[in-house]
Amino acid sequence: MTFEVSELQLTIDKAGKVYHSRRGKVWALRNFSLEVRPGVLGLLGPNGAGKTTLMNIIATITRATEGAVTWNGADLQRDPDAVRAVLGYLPQDFGVYPNLNAVEFLEYFAAVKGLDAASARRRIDELLQLVNLTDVRKRPLGGFSGGMRQRIGIAQALLNDPQLLIVDEPTAGLDPEERVRFRNLLSDLSGDRIVILSTHIVSDVEATATEIALISGGTLVAHAPPEDLLRAAEGRVWEWVVPSAELSAAKQLYLISGTVRRADGVHVRLLAESAPAGAVPVAATLEDAYLHCLSTHRAHLAEARA
């Protein structure tokens, strides 16, 4: 008996990944469960949180030590080809062949992905226009800027019109204009496909994500729409003006998300359950919500160990 899947679904069930070192076992990912449906999922967390390990497991580059990952019901440990045919992946360390031009580079990847020559030519023309590289299609990639290389990277990831698109730290090193362009491109690409944006840059997630998964220490801290995370931080964000000489002491007492120096002193943005004397409440940003979730998670871990 066969059935049609009405909506794409990626399910991660208690996945874990352990690495062995001289110091023993190191868990990069532990007991991680998540269900992902069409839209943009922002996978947000500090460097070393386990984001890249999770991406590599989903992309079938590495195998989970425990747990399971399924794509529309197919177990990727037993049947990795179930997702490979519909996967587009832009890894964090994306390299190019510097002597190839943009067209030659994409033709090579189209052949690797099994596209016939005629379909590949049409698709390459479409993608070069989409990522705004048509005018430099014959320039060797060795002369591309960092932003242009990222755009050729997303073009190769889209060659097979993937149902699952994974991009890992895609805006690191880009200038502000290129970062905005890249965010807009990811938003436009979501539609009926699943896009996973893995990053430690909160503003990238804020601009694109329909849902956020917050990861820390290889575990899932929160999974919710951005609005829910913002509501959790409301009433806990304050602005406080302190003299420059007292800034260091304030950092010892409070979780500070930002500072701005002005003529009347340092305007400190902080997170706390109650306001210090003279502080006024301000609306929470996603960065505030991110810091609130992380600090709460770490506090619970500390209590559990005590």
Give the pLDDT confidence of 149-159 residue by residue, as tens digits. Answer: 888 998 999 99
Q: Which tens digits make up the pLDDT trace of 217-233? A: 999 999 999 999 999 99
pLDDT of amino acid 6: 55
Whether residue 1 is predicted with pLDDT greater than 80 in this model: the reply is no
Q: Which tens digits make up the pLDDT trace of 68-96? A: 999 999 999 999 999 998 999 998 878 88
Which of 82, 84, 61 minimizes the C-alpha distance to 162? Answer: 84
CATH of domain 10-225: 3.40.50.300
The residues spanned by each domain of the chain are 10-225, 231-305
Q: Which tens digits make up the pLDDT trace of 108-145? A: 999 998 899 999 999 999 999 988 899 999 999 999 98
240: tokens are 């406080």
305: tokens are 């160990």
125: tokens are 């023309």
Which of 219, 201, 289, 202 minimizes the C-alpha distance to 49? Answer: 219
pLDDT-based confidence at residue 24 (cuts at 50, 70, 90): confident
pLDDT of amino acid 304: 84
Dihedral sign for Cα atoms in the order 66, 72, 73, 76: negative
Mean pLDDT score, 285-302: 92
Helix (H, G, I), strand (E, B) or coil at 233: helix
